[in-house]
Amino acid sequence: MIRITQTYVLVLMAVALWTNCSTDNENGIFVDSVATDGDLTEGENTDCSNTTSIFEINLNPGDCTVDVQNSLGIVSSYSETVAGTTRNITLNGVANHFVGQFPNSGNPNTIPHPVDNSRMTPQPELAAKATAGQGHTMSVYLSGVVGEPYTAEFFMGSDGTLNRDWNITTLQNEVNLGLDCNNAHVQPTGRYHYHGSPSNYASQQGIDGSAMVKIGYAADGFPIYYKYVYADDGTTITEVRSGYQLKTTDRGGDGISVPDGCPNGLYFQDYEYVDGLSSLDMCNGRFGKTPESESEYFYVVTDNFPSAPLCFSGTPDDSFSFR
């Protein structure tokens, strides 16, 4: 398990950073770590198969009670146009659904009125290899909100060392990052953004498993659907889950410069993608029938880790890059 001193430092770090999430520009951390095991050997033979997961995701839409459009006096806006080889999308960052209370104990920021302009190809193609999502806004949603699953919170050892190879996920119950029922919170810039299942939005849209519903687009142009997809028979609607699970061996660190103990879900790097565990690939995508095509590639937001896609199967447009 994580040492008490390490947990204490992590909590202090989260308070100090004030959830300045998704502004980090380091690239490749998560995809590299799930694709290969690390080089560390200390504790690698420890059996962590019975570790209790601290994964947590809010699926109760009723926990969000703030009508942000009314409180800001601004109507939510999402628009898209397709011209030739470009899909242009403009949104104002004001959700068209209820949100949580901000500021809150884990997030001191408020939601103003930022405008996002982005573009992507309307005819996406798979790339030769996946691209890590860090350093990018991952997606835009029809709700007027963007998706950014990564954070700028990292492991900090007892000697004050910040290790950016160990990135804290929001979808856990150990470090409070102030998520609302849409598994979203606010950056210091005022950008409200999803880290996982947008529960109140899904409820507002009537997503109940009776149909496959598109909720947005990833930066590479592929569509995003929420958890329900067509089964192999092309008629039945079924819920899918990702192919990620907790690793079963010790993190291998010393607790000072690298975290120690069994993986419990505090970090993205606590998880690994397991082939055959799901019909979804490591980017939470798959080929299949959709309401718009008999067969196309699409992403799925699931209710288990990582919930939102963490990498791109296609090529993300530069307009989504933080750089």
Which of 313, 322, 309, 311 has the alpha carbon at shortest distance from 118?
Answer: 322
Query: Using alpha carbons only, how large is the chain's radius of gyration in Å?
Result: 19
Residue 21: both structure tokens together: 């999430």
Q: How far apart are CA 116 and CA 308, in angstroms?
A: 20
* Three-state DSSP class for residue 31: helix
What pLDDT, on the 0 to 100 scale, is given for residue 36? 29
What pLDDT, on the 0 to 100 scale, is given for residue 15? 38
Residue 45: both structure tokens together: 């033979």
What pLDDT, on the 0 to 100 scale, is given for residue 21? 57
What pLDDT, on the 0 to 100 scale, is given for residue 209? 98
What pLDDT, on the 0 to 100 scale, is given for residue 29? 26
β-pair partners for 90: 79, 117
Q: How far apart are CA 234 and CA 230, in angstroms?
A: 6
Q: How far apart are CA 256 and CA 166, in angstroms?
A: 12
What pLDDT, on the 0 to 100 scale, is given for residue 182? 98
β-pair partners for 147: 139, 194
Residue 301 and residue 225 in contact, taking contact as beta carbons nearer than 8 Å: yes
Q: How far apart are CA 196 and CA 232, in angstroms?
A: 26
DSSP per residue, 90-147? EE-S--SS-B--SSBTTB--------EEEEE-SS----SS-EE-TTB--EEETTS-EE
Identify the burial level of 38 via C-beta atoms within 10 angstroms of its C-beta, where 0-12 means exposed, 13-18 middle and 19 or more buried. middle
In tens digits, the chain (323 residues) has pLDDT values of 333 334 333 433 443 344 445 443 333 223 333 332 333 344 457 899 999 999 999 999 999 999 999 999 999 999 999 999 999 999 999 999 999 999 999 999 999 878 999 999 999 999 999 999 999 999 999 999 999 999 999 999 888 889 999 999 999 999 999 999 999 999 999 999 999 999 999 999 999 999 999 999 999 999 999 999 999 999 999 999 999 999 999 999 999 999 999 999 999 999 999 999 999 999 999 999 999 999 999 999 999 999 999 999 999 999 999 86
Distance of CA 262 to the CA centre of its chain: 23
DSSP per residue, 253-304? --SSSS--S---SSBGGGEEE-TTS-SS-TTSEEEEEETTEEEEEEEEE-SS
Q: How far apart are CA 312 and CA 134, in angstroms?
A: 10
- Report the run of H or E that residue 33 belongs to, with start and end: helix 29-35
Provide the whole-model pTM.
Answer: 0.88
